Homo-oligomer: A and B are copies of this chain.
Amino acid sequence: MTLHTFFTRSPIVPPPFEAVSKEIGADVEFYGLVRELEHGHPLAGLHYEAYEPMALKQITRIFTLLAEAHPVAGVTWIHRLGWVPVGEASLFLRVQSAHRAEALNFCALAIDAMKRDVPIWKTAQTA
């Protein structure tokens, strides 16, 4: 599995699309966007912080384990830090695999595990 993981403090720009091999049949791209309403309160945006070295280590560990059950060929994970206004992406995840089930399952499980186990915090800022 080819794995690229990084943080950015600028708006997320996904790397140009390129299949990691001629055996890729499915490419799933997930954007997590900041919504205006959280628990009923209007937000201007969210502020994200991370313990970066630990977070990247955890992400690698989680994705490597997940790939044993859901074999995928390529994963790109980008998380934005700092201030992210409503409507912009805080998370980008690209998963490529031969068949769609693996990529879709990996994507869903990877985000669940990330939210649960990776030291990234958000602080709401009201509008």
Q: In the complex, which residues of chain B have a beta carbon less than 8 angstroms from the beta carbon of A36?
A: 22-23
Overall SS of chain A's interface = mixed
CA distance A35 to B97 in the complex (A): 10
Number of chain A residues close to chain B: CB under 8 A: 28
Q: Quick one: CB contact mask for A2-32 with B, threshold 8 Å, 1 for yes?
A: 0000000000000001010011111111111
CB of B25 within 8 A of CB of A32, answer yes
When all copies of this chain in the complex are counted, the total is 2
Given contacts A22-B36, A32-B25, contact A111 B107 (CB under 8 A): no
CB of A33 within 8 A of CB of B29, answer no
CB of A26 within 8 A of CB of B19, answer no
CB of B22 within 8 A of CB of A26, answer no
* Cβ contact of A104, chosen from B27, B86, B89, B108, cutoff 8 A: B108
CA distance A86 to B25 in the complex (A): 9
